[in-house]
Chains A and B, each alone.
Chain A
C-alpha cells in the first residue's frame, strides 16, 4: 500500500426486522451522523464517499441516489461518490473501496457507508434465488440457506460435526448479542432451546440462521497524517483483500472446507505479516450468517486445522472469556442488513481495536479480524485492524 490508512470513526444503527420509525435517508443519516460524531468531524472534512448496498433487497433501485444528500449533506454535494455492490460482501467491499481511496493518495478522509432495508423485501431468499442461473440451478431453489445447508451436511459427513455443535455456536452468539444495543435479535437462547427450534433446511434450524434486518453502518477512513489529528485511537488497516470464486454452485469441489477463504486468508496474513493467527489476533468478527459457517471459518482462517474447528466451540475458546472471542457483537447471526453487514463486521472490529465496544469489549485487543462472504459462498473480503500502525 502506498500509504497507511486508519479507521477513525464508526457509526452503527439499531437493526430490526423493519425500521418503520425512519425513512431510508433518515436511516442513512443515523449511521453517517454517528460516524461523524464519533470522529468529531463535519461533513466538510469528507473528501469522498463509497457507498454499498444490494439494490434488489431494498424495494428501491440504486438507493444511494435517494440517500446521497444524507451521506454528503445537501451543502457539500458534487463530491466524489462511488457505489459498490458485491452481494453479501458488499459492506466488506465498501470498506476496501474506502481503503483504496485513501491509499491512492487522492483523498485524505473518506466516508464508507452501507445500508440495507431487507424489511422492504417480501422474502429475501426469493430475491437471492434470482442470483442463481435461471436454466441450470435456479429451479432447485438455490439461495443462501440451501448452500449453507450443503456446507453443514458436508461438514457433518467429513468431520463429524453435530447439530449440538451448531447449537453451541448459536447460544454463544445470541448471548453476545445481549451486550450489543445495535443487535437485531436480543434474546436469551440455550443450547436446548436451539435444538428445539424449527427445522428450516436440514440440518439448519431457525436458530442456526440469521434474521433479515434493516440497518446501516458508516466508517471514516483517513490517511496517517489526518488520522493522528482526528483521534488518539485509530484502528490501522494492517492487511486487506477480497476474492471471487467460481459462479455455479455445482462446479464446487468442496463444501466442508472453504478453500477460497483459506486462500484469501493466506494473502491477507502475508500482507499483515501474521504467521500464527491464533496467537496474534485477539478478536474476530467473521461473517456467520449460518452457525456452521463459524466452524468452517475457524478452519479457513487458520484458527484450527481442517476438521478441528468444533473443538474451539466445544472448549469455549471463542466465547467472550476465551482465548479468541469470535463475534462479540453477536455477529451476522443476530443482525443481517445484507449489504451493510460486511461493513458492520469491519466497524465492530474497529471498535474493539479502539476500545470503544462498551459491554461487548474484549480486554487487551491489539489486532482484530473482520470478514464477510457473499454470492452463494463465492466471494470473501477480509480486513485486519491493529492498534499499531503497520
Chain B
C-alpha cells in the first residue's frame, strides 16, 4: 500500500439513556469537537469529513445535510455512508490511501428518536419476510438459535458473555450501563425473542463518537501517540435468512482473513493483545470469536470458560463493556475502534489492558440484523 494511515484523534461523548438537550447531529458535533481537541487540530486543518448513519433511523431524509456541517464539513469534499460509523472509517482510509486527502474526520451517533425495531422491519422484503415481523432482533435471535442448536451452546454460556461485558462496562466511565449483572439476572431478565433474554440484547444508547485519520507525514506532525491502521477489510453477506447457514458469520470470517493478511497476522489469538468486538447479542460475541479465527467452530464458549477473553486473560475482549453496555445504533462499530485506540495509547484508565500493542476492532454494520450485515475488521498497532 502506497501510504500508511494513522489515527491521530478520538472523541466520544458520555453514552446515556437520554440526552434531552441534544439533537442527533449535535451528538456528532460534540464528538467531533472532542476529537479535534484530542488531536489539537482546528477544523480548518481537516481536508474531508465522512458522516454515517441511517436516514430512516434518524427520521431525516439526507441526514448528512446536518451531520456533515456539524463535524466541520462546510465547503469541504465530504460524504456520508448509510452504514455504521465503522464504514465511515473504512471510506476515510480509502480517501487517504488514494492520495487525494491528508486528514479526514469521521463521526457517528446513536439516538433513540426512532424505533429501530419498526425501522429495521422495513428493511425486509415487503412480500415474504416483512409481514411475519422480521426485524433486527428477531433475525439475530433466529441466528443465535441455529448456532446454539448446532453446537449445543446453552443460554448460560451466552449469559457469561453478558456478565463479562457488563463487569467491564462498570469500569468504563463513558459506558451507558455501568452496573455489573449476574448470570441469574441475565437468565431471569425475561424473553425478548428466544433464545435471547432482555440482558442478552444491547441497550439503545444516546451518544456520539468521532475519529481523525491522517497520512504518516501529517500524523507525525500532529501527535506522538500514533496508532497505525495495519489492516482493514469489510464484507457483506446474503440477505435471505433462509438461503444461508445461519450458524456461521461468513462475511466476518472473510473480512477478518483479509485484514489479518494485510497486517501480516497468522495466529490472531497469539498475536493480538486486545480486541473490541461488536456483539449485537451475547451469542454473537461467541460466534465472532469463531469467525475471527480465535476459536474453532462451535468452540467460542471455551475462550470464556478458560478466561482467555476475560479482563486478565491472554486476549481481553470488550474491556470497554462492548455493545452490551453501550450501543449506539449506527455507530457502535466506530466506538469499538475508538476504544481500541485508547487501549493502544494506554489511555483506557480503569479498563486498560497492560501493554497493549496490537488490537482488533470489529464493526457489525447492519440495519437488519442477520440479514446481509456488513462486517468490518480493523487491525490497529501502537506507533
Contacts and interface: CB of A to CB of B under 8 A. Distances in A.
Interface of A: 1-2, 49, 54-56, 59-62, 64-69, 72, 74, 77-87, 93, 96-97, 99-101, 103-106, 127-128, 130-131, 241-247, 260, 263, 267, 374-376, 378-379
Contact of B235 (A80, A83, A130, A374): A80
A100 B81 CA distance: 14
B2 A2 contact: yes
A244 B87 CA distance: 20
A374 B65 CA distance: 10
A84 B371 CA distance: 19
B91 A131 contact: no
A84 B91 CA distance: 10
Contacts of B55: 54-56, 85
Interface in B201-254: 233-240, 243, 250-251, 253-254
B82 A243 contact: no
4 tightest Cβ-Cβ pairs between the two chains A and B: A103-B98, A81-B236, A87-B62, A78-B254
A73 B239 CA distance: 11
Nearest to A79: B235
Given A69-B240, A100-B91, A131-B61, A84 B81 contact: yes
A276 B372 CA distance: 47
B149 interface: no
Given A61-B123, A244-B75, A55 B239 contact: no
Nearest to B366: A65
B82 A62 contact: yes
A109 to B, nearest CB: 15
A55 B56 contact: yes
A270 B3 CA distance: 23
Nearest to B53: A85
B254 A66 contact: no
B97 interface: yes
B108 interface: no
Contacts of B82: 55, 62, 64, 83-85
B334 to A, nearest CB: 15
A75 to B, nearest CB: 10
Most buried by B among A49, A267, A378: A378
B94 interface: yes
B69 interface: yes
Contact of B77 (A49, A130, A243, A374): A243
A229 to B, nearest CB: 22
Interface string B118-131: 01101111100000
A56 B61 contact: yes
A61 B54 contact: yes
Most buried by A among B3, B87, B123, B243: B123
A246 B73 CA distance: 9
A85 B64 contact: yes
Contacts of B367: 61-62, 65
Given A77-B237, A77-B251, A375 B62 contact: yes
Contacts of A106: 1, 94, 97
Contacts of A241: 77
Contacts of A96: 79
B139 to A, nearest CB: 11
Nearest to B99: A2
B233 A1 contact: no
Contact of B78 (A64, A68, A244): A244
Interface of B: 1-3, 54-56, 59-62, 64-66, 68-69, 73-83, 87, 90-91, 93-95, 97-100, 119-120, 122-126, 233-240, 243, 250-251, 253-255, 366-368, 371-372, 374
Nearest to B375: A78
A1 B95 CA distance: 9
Contacts of A246: 69, 74
A49 B235 CA distance: 10
27 contacts: A54-B55, A54-B61, A65-B372, A66-B123, A68-B372, A74-B238, A77-B235, A79-B254, A80-B234, A82-B83, A82-B91, A83-B87, A83-B374, A84-B82, A86-B64, A87-B62, A96-B79, A97-B91, A101-B94, A104-B93, A105-B98, A244-B75, A244-B76, A245-B75, A267-B77, A376-B62, A378-B65
A99 B90 CA distance: 14
A1 B100 CA distance: 5
Given A80-B233, A82-B83, A86-B62, A65 B239 contact: yes
B79 A86 contact: yes
B133 to A, nearest CB: 15
Contacts of B61: 54, 56, 87, 127-128, 130-131
Contact of A66 (B60, B90, B125, B233): B125
A74 B372 CA distance: 12
A262 to B, nearest CB: 11
A97 B97 contact: no
Contact of B80 (A62, A68, A86, A378): A86
A1 B94 contact: no
Most buried by B among A74, A83, A105, A379: A83
Contacts of A103: 94, 98-100
A128 B55 CA distance: 12
A65 B368 contact: yes
A78 B376 CA distance: 11
A79 B258 CA distance: 10
A244 B238 CA distance: 34
A65 B372 CA distance: 6
Given A87-B65, A100-B91, A101-B94, A61 B122 contact: yes
Contact of A242 (B78, B98, B126): B78
A257 B162 CA distance: 57
